[in-house]
Amino acid sequence: MAIQRRKFIQSGIAGLSLLGFSNLGLKIPSKGPSNKPSNKPIVISTWDFGVPANLAAWDILKMGGRALDAVEQGVKIPEADLKNSTVGKGGYPDRDGHVTLDACIMDELGNCGSVAALENITHAISVARMVMEKTPHVMLVGEGALQFALTNGFEKENLLTPESEKAWREWLKEKKYSPIINIENLSNDPNRLPGNQYNHDTIGMLALDESGNLSGACTTSGMAFKMHGRVGDSPIIGAGLYVDNEIGAATSTGVGEEVIRTVGSFLVVELMRQGHSPEVACKLAVERIIAKKPETAKEIQVGFLALNKNGEYGAYALQKGFTFAVCDAEKQDLLIDGKSIY
C-alpha cells in the first residue's frame, strides 16, 4: 500500500511539472545563468560616450585587474569630459545654477557606496568608492558628502563651465522644462542650440573580470535645470545600479523617477535569477514601467543594461535611440543600438 502511495505522489509531481508551475501560481526555483563558458573579461556601458570609458576600464581588465577598479576608472573619463553636459564637470546645473553630482559603485561582495547632491568635486564616483571603503555608511549627501571628500584629499573646484552657464542662462529666459528623449546622444551634436537641452543622463558601467567577479558604477550630473536638491536613480543602489555576484549586474538610464518606482536594476537582476537572459530581463523591467504609467512611458526615455555571470549582455529601452558600448577581447569599440518598445 505504501509503495502504491509513493508511486502516486511521484506521478502527481511529474504531472505538475508537465502542466507548469506557473499555471498554479508557483515559482520555479532559481537556476541562475546557464553553465556555458564565460565571456570574460568584458565591460559594457550606456550611450555613445561609453566607448572611450570602456577603453579606460579595459586597460585594467586586460591585465587581469579587478572589475571594481575598472568601472571606477572607466566612468571617470566622462566625468572629466567638459564636452559632456550630462556627467561630471561641465554638466548642466540645476535651476539655481548649481552643478550637483550623483554617483554610486558596487562590488562583487555586495559592498556599495554612494553620494548625492555633491558639489565642487569632479570625480563623484571616487568619493562614492571612498564612502564604501572608509565609512560604515552607504550614502552621503550634500554638504556632508563635500566635507567628507575634502577631508579625504579631494580638491574643491568650480564645476560650472562657461558653456553650461550659458545654456542655463538661456533656459532662464523661458524656464520651461520638457525632457528630450535620448539627449545623451543629441548633446554631442555640435549644431545644438544652447539652452534647448532640458534632459539629463548617466553613464552606467558593468564589468566582469578575469576572476569571474562583477562590479558596477553609475555617475551623473542629474537632470538639467532640475529643482535644487533633486536626486534621481543614479546614486540609489537597486535603482540606478545593482550587482549580485551569483547572478549578474544591471544599470539604468533615463528619467530616474520612473526607475526608482520600480527599483529597476534590482528587478532586472532578479529576473535574470529566474532564468531570463539579460535582454529579456531588461525588456520585462521596461514593460513594468509601462504597466505602472502607460501614458507617461510614451513621453520619456528609460533604458536598462544588464550583464550576467557568463558575460552575456543585453539591453532594452522605452524609446528608440538608446545605445550601449561593449568591450571585450575580440572588439574594444563596439556600439550597439538597443532594442525598444516604441
pLDDT in tens, 291-303: 999 999 998 999 9
pLDDT in tens, 157-195: 999 999 999 999 998 888 766 555 554 444 444 433 322
Whether 202 is a known active-site residue: answer yes
* Domains located in the chain, CATH noted: 39-340 (3.60.20.30)
Instruction: Considering only residues 182 and 290, tell me which one the structure prediction assigns the higher pLDDT.
Output: 290
Using DSSP's 3-state secondary structure scheme, residue 220 falls into strand
- Cα gap 3→15, rounded to integer Å: 18
Query: Is 90 exceeded by the pLDDT of residue 124?
Result: yes
Query: Is 80 exceeded by the pLDDT of residue 11?
Result: no
- Cα gap 149→111, rounded to integer Å: 19
Give me the pLDDT at residue 175, please: 76
- The mean of the pLDDT values for the chain is 86
- Cα gap 239→224, rounded to integer Å: 20
pLDDT in tens, 260-274: 999 999 999 999 999
- Cα gap 219→129, rounded to integer Å: 12
Within 13 A of 336's CA, how many CA atoms are on the CB side? 20
- Cα gap 252→268, rounded to integer Å: 10
Check residue 237 and report its DSSP letter. B
- Report the percent of the chain where pLDDT is more than 90: 75
pLDDT in tens, 51-88: 999 999 999 999 999 999 999 999 999 999 998 889 99
Query: Is 60 exceeded by the pLDDT of residue 2?
Result: no
Give me the pLDDT at residue 168, please: 92
Mean pLDDT of 207-234: 95
Annotated active-site residue in 100, 122, 161, 202? 202
Q: Are 304 and 288 in contact (CB under 8 A)?
A: no
